[in-house]
């Protein structure tokens, strides 16, 4: 046990030393320590205060999280069969401990006593907010339920955790286990060279000669957008939209249909156990929206504002296809392909020509310069760290004035085998004030799935990928620039879930500003500046089919809202029928009958967005509104950037969101700035 690297003191995870056999013993030992700390606190006959009760609990919980974090991260970026089985056991142990904590009546009583004794009045605002949040968590965990209902609550929570894990594993397996070998290069005309090289390497690694089509995002998006061979587009499209379902080339093999139904049943039961009518009511306790109708009104209002323009965008696309290609029918697998052709026609945009101006190194240096100009932070790479993959990099953030270390982050940009698709930011460690007064610095993981450098050529990013990168950096800034030193409410923790996307969506705005584009672009061979006309065309193209995109997001949001507003009480839940009804009411794009989008809708069935997918649209409103101040005062205005840090990023989850939003903007949010960004009248 003494040689277990997870049980030694570390600031950064000792990735190279962690082996699968270390994980369960480390978690078991750490949980024993956690149980012991809690019981030792509760058996003392003392008047509780922050130092003798809360601080020890926070520190042991932080220690546990620091051990869990690298295990959780490796399960996402290096998912093997052995690790996922271990991770399932870890999750079960953690949930049992969490439920023991949340249903511990003695601990609950101790928190209540602290809130009601004289020591509470001497606590600062953040400490009081932490205690208030904790008491709410107790109530949402069934602390007041009878023993039978508490037992059932525990069973439901553990089963839901397992189901969500199974769901995500099925999506990953379905994504990884479809491929198609292309022998004739002529079938891949117009695919970017770096993607072709990546596909060729995939084939070689598979012991084959040719180009391997997979469902990795860089390959899938390139084929569906650029491949002139309609048959290949159709095949990969159907494979993608039927992942983990009862349809498609791997029908029923990793089918999430029954998992979704059981998740919905259990979420309803969970909510009703706690006295709520539906899961959405339970979910909204930690969001800014007051009720489901308020969300529905927002989505319908947005729909009414954009529906006509969305129809117009689709009519223009179909007219272009008819006039240019003499095609009358727009198939779902053709939409992205002809949309790209339409965009090229309107704005003279050619992604192959654009991406040569966006080498990864230039984009990163430009991004770091923007962060320096706006927020006054300096980013420096640190070499020779213990990393979990040779492609991963590690950076420190410093305050420009004091040169004080603010925090750090891992940067993992490339797609590879056994790595989950998509992009995300996750917590490695939280900011925390220790009992001796030392401050633990926050550390983040920033993860994307771009194509890796090939054949001595750097990774060349699309503008879409750059927007993704800026988005995830926004989340990281929220985590790293916090002033709050109580982990549970520092950074992104404790922030209402329907506004947590504000910083990430705000950061996307710099990707659409000429002065910012000039900083992140330069020809990968000559560093020659991107032509001004090309920049102008990129900016003009921002509005291309923007309403069609928003309509799709509204569709997903309404589906999520409807699923979690209904009280599911029987096994024959037909979630596809619910989605079809919504599509019949609002969708204007073609959809295949075998489309099983919900079976790979990780956000609401594996991630934390159940009952909250509308957050992306609502945060888009907030971000556009906040950026309107930057537009007015200057996109690199340091005072404006500092104001955003001080009033929003630094506060974490310590204060009421609308209060801190109004401090930054001087008023409540409205939808006007977002509609203007998309040129919607």
Active site residues: 472
How is 2-20 classified by DSSP, letter by letter? TT-GGGS--SS--GGG--H
User: And the tokens for 206?
Assistant: 């598979």
Contact 111, 185 (CB under 8 A): no
User: Which helix (H) or strand (E) covers residue 213, if one does?
Assistant: strand 211-214
User: End-to-end distance of the chain based on CA atoms, in angstroms?
Assistant: 65
Contact 587, 556 (CB under 8 A): no
**Length of the chain (residues):** 681
Strand partners, 299: none
**CA–CA separation, 219 vs 264, rounded Å?**
33
Nearby residues of 57 by Cβ (< 8 Å), 6 or more positions away: 37, 38, 41
| 395 SS3 class | strand
Strand partners, 457: 454
Q: Which residue has tokens 């009546």?
A: 105
- Classify each residue of 170-188 as buried b or exposed e, where b means 16 or more C-beta atoms within 10 Å of its C-beta: bbbbbbbebbbebeeeebb
User: And the tokens for 430?
Assistant: 């939280």
**CA–CA separation, 288 vs 268, rounded Å?**
21
- Classify each residue of 84-93 as buried b or exposed e, where b means 16 or more C-beta atoms within 10 Å of its C-beta: bebbeebbee
């Amino acid at each position: 046990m003494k040689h277990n690297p997870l049980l030694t003191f570390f600031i950064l995870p000792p990735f190279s030393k962690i082996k699968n056999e270390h994980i369960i013993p480390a978690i078991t030992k750490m949980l024993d320590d956690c149980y012991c700390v809690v019981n030792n606190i509760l058996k003392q006959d003392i008047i509780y205060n922050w130092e003798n009760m809360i601080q020890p609990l926070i520190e042991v919980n932080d220690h546990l999280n620091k051990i869990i974090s690298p295990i959780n991260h490796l399960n996402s970026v290096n998912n093997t069969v052995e690790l996922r089985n271990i991770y399932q056991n870890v999750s079960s142990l953690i949930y049992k401990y969490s439920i023991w904590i949340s249903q511990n009546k003695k601990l609950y009583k101790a928190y209540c006593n602290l809130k009601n004794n004289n020591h509470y009045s001497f606590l600062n605002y953040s400490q009081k907010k932490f205690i208030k949040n904790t008491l709410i968590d107790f109530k949402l965990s069934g602390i007041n339920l009878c023993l039978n209902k508490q037992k059932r609550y525990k069973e439901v929570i553990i089963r839901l955790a397992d189901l969500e894990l199974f769901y995500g594993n099925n999506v990953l397996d379905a994504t990884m286990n479809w491929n198609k070998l292309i022998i004739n290069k002529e079938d891949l005309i117009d695919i970017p060279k770096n993607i072709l090289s990546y596909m060729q390497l995939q084939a070689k690694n598979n012991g084959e000669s040719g180009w391997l089509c997979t469902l990795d995002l860089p390959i899938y998006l390139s084929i569906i957008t650029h491949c002139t061979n309609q048959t290949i587009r159709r095949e990969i499209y159907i494979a993608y939209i039927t992942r983990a379902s009862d349809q498609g080339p791997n029908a029923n093999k990793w089918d999430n249909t029954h998992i979704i139904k059981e998740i919905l049943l259990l979420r309803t039961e969970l909510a009703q156990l706690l006295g709520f009518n539906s899961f959405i009511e339970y979910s909204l306790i930690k969001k800014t929206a007051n009720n489901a109708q308020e969300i529905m009104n927002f989505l319908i209002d947005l729909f009414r504002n954009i529906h006509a323009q969305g129809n117009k965008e689709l009519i223009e696309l179909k007219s272009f296809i008819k006039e240019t290609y003499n095609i009358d029918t727009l198939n779902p697998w053709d939409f992205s392909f002809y949309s790209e052709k339409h965009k090229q026609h309107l704005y003279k945009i050619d992604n192959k020509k654009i991406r040569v101006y966006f080498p990864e190194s230039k984009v990163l240096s430009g991004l770091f310069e923007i962060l320096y100009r706006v927020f006054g932070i300096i980013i420096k790479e640190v070499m020779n760290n213990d990393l979990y993959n040779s492609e991963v990099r590690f950076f420190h953030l410093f305050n420009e004035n004091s040169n004080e270390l603010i925090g750090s982050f891992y940067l993992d940009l490339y797609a590879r085998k056994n790595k989950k698709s998509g992009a995300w930011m996750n917590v490695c460690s939280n900011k925390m004030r220790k009992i001796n007064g030392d401050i633990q610095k926050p550390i983040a993981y920033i993860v994307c799935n771009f194509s890796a450098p090939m054949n001595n050529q750097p990774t060349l990013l699309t503008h879409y990928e750059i927007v993704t990168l800026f988005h995830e950096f926004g989340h990281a800034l929220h985590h790293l620039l916090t002033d709050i030193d109580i982990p549970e409410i520092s950074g992104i923790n404790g922030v209402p879930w329907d506004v947590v996307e504000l910083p990430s969506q705000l950061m996307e705005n710099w990707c659409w500003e000429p002065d910012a584009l000039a900083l992140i672009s330069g020809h990968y061979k000559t560093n020659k500046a991107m032509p001004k006309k090309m920049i102008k065309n990129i900016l003009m193209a921002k509005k291309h089919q923007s309403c069609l995109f928003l309509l799709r997001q509204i569709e997903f949001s309404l589906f999520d809202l409807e699923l979690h507003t209904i009280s599911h009480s029987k096994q024959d839940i037909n979630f596809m029928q619910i989605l079809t009804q919504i599509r019949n009411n609002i969708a204007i794009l073609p959809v295949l009958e075998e489309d099983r989008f919900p079976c790979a809708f990780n956000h609401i069935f594996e991630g934390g967005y159940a009952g909250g997918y509308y957050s992306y649209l609502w945060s888009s409103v907030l971000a556009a509104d906040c950026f309107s101040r930057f537009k007015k005062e200057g996109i690199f205005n340091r005072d404006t950037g500092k104001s955003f840090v001080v009033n929003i990023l630094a506060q974490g989850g310590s204060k009421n969101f609308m209060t801190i939003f109004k401090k930054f903007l001087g008023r409540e949010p409205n939808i006007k700035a977002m509609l203007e960004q998309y040129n919607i009248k």
